[in-house]
A and B are shown apart, each in its own frame.
Chain A
Amino acid sequence: MSADPASAGPVGTDLLTEDRGLRLVRITAGLLCAFGAIVMVVAFFRYLTVFPGATVLAIVLQLPLLLVGFVLLRLLRPVRSPPLLWAAAATTWGATAAIGCALLANQGLAALWAKTAGPAFASNWSNSLSAPLNEEALKLCGVIMVVLAAPGLIKGPLDGMIFGALTGLGFQVVENVTYGLDNIVQSGATDPTQAVTSSWLLRLATAVGSHWAMTAVAGTGIGYLVARGLSRSNVIVALGYLASAMAMHLLFDAPHPAIGVKVTVNVVIVGVLYITLNDAYLTRARGVLARLADQHQITGEESVHLLKRGYRRWQLRGASSDAERARRLARQRAILERVEEEAA
């Protein structure tokens, strides 16, 4: 059963080609999403059979948050929105793999808190001591999977932030549905519709400081690692972003302070981080365009306006033919690829 030494090298290389590696990552991601979805269906299917109307209502009420959040988060990426397919993939990870695994992980850890520290302590703290650890790690795995499955898509911290936010949004939407269903039980199923609606209103009011914001901060660290490489100091920085996201989550789930304070703190953190990263990114992008203009590779007008989505659409609308439009589009893409690569 000994292998021919002469053929060992090429065969070994063939087993792990780039294509096969990518396919393996994507298939694994799909399987993990399917697993998470099955866990959620098994856990909540009874609600659909006993409270069909209220369950459908709980799902439908979350659709506007999902759609508006998805569109807005994609638009938050400066210059160009992330590809629809991968943005949807990140959101799907949060809504299936991350939340399904988190359901099992949280049940295990919360039960451990109750058994070791007592139900009284656990009633106040088990959520805030379990969810940040489990959920932030599981959501962040989705951002790493995007890095692995779509090479070159996440180029830097800002990309990591956007994909983190999209992953968190998927998680948030499905979690909101489960909160609505839990509220039916906690109100004795006396008015399932009202229970779902009141839960939805509460979650809507706190939506701006919830999962999307936390995972946006954690995802920034992954983007940072992609841009800078896996040195020890860079890993520490990335872990710092993850720890910040966990701290935001702990605060959000803690019994104090008031929910308004928690939401405000999270929004300020993610807002300041976004403005800082966005500003730095655009400054670098403008610098790249200015250099290309100096080298007479693009026009002065392009140098000033090409980063704006509206200008690019106007440029395409001005094309005299389909061929001309295609040529302009290809040119825009080539310039922006260059700009994004250097600005990240």
Chain B
Amino acid sequence: MRDSNRPAAALRGPVRTARPVPGTARKRIRWLLIVIAIMVVLTAGWPLINLAVSDHRRLAANTSLMVGPSRPESARVTVGPGWSMLPADSNPRLGYVLQRGTVECTIAYVRLIHHAHPAALWSGLRELVQIAHPGASLSAPRSVTSRNDAEGDAGLVRGQNLTGTATVFTQPGRNFAIEILVIAPNHFVRANLIAAQRIIASLIFLSATR
């Protein structure tokens, strides 16, 4: 082991490497600017281009929208005249965001863990309202039934500058539920809110149909 005790400086000869000489400070700054440019283009570029494209897709009266990952696990609602869909926030598997004037109607598919009890669904909805609209509160539920006999619960949403309703329909097998949140500013047009209630009343679970 005598040789291994030699000091490090004992290594002689040139280093055989094909690696180019490290860059100068200027090269370093140039590459830093390239990195920043890539990050800015991606982070700000896509959102800016997105802003330039309209997010309203007008829906014809009586348009049916299916929500859910597959036909047996989905529901359908029918919209009346005057509604637009926000494609950027809509996904047939997960839900839709619709607008009519200042009223916004969010329809969401919810996959239930262990066939959750309706009470758990309502308390969960109360928390989701807080996530979507901080400071808003949800009233106690009352039973509702859609025109197609889907049973659910509904309540009022109240916030500092908003008002609305929250409705949840549980699929008979309790595998999934559809939550519909209708939110409007305090100075909403009553007809728009009534139109949203018509969407809610149109809900039908497709597993219940042939």
Contacts and interface: CB of A to CB of B under 8 A. Distances in A.
Interface of A: 16-18, 20-22, 24-25, 28, 32, 46-47, 50-51, 97, 101-102, 104-112, 114-116, 118-120, 122-123, 133-134, 137-138, 141, 144-145, 147-148, 151-152, 155-156, 185-191, 194-195, 198, 226-229, 288, 292, 295-299, 301-302, 315, 318, 324, 327-328, 330-331, 333-335, 338, 341-342, 344
Given A194-B114, A328-B4, A331-B7, A115 B35 contact: no
A91 B94 CA distance: 32
Contacts of B4: 298-299, 301-302, 315, 328, 331
A341 B13 CA distance: 13
Given A190-B124, A327-B5, 5 more contacts: A16-B26, A50-B130, A187-B116, A295-B12, A341-B15
23 contacts: A25-B29, A32-B36, A50-B130, A104-B44, A108-B50, A114-B91, A115-B50, A116-B53, A141-B38, A145-B35, A148-B35, A151-B23, A186-B94, A186-B110, A187-B110, A187-B124, A188-B124, A191-B116, A299-B4, A331-B4, A338-B11, A341-B15, A341-B17
B25 A188 contact: no
A17 B25 contact: yes
Interface of B: 1, 3-13, 15-20, 22-26, 28-29, 31-32, 34-36, 38-39, 42-50, 53-55, 85, 87-88, 90-94, 96, 110-114, 116, 120-121, 123-125, 127-128, 130-131, 134, 168, 177, 179
B5 A101 contact: no
A341 B121 contact: no
Contacts of B34: 144
A18 B29 CA distance: 10
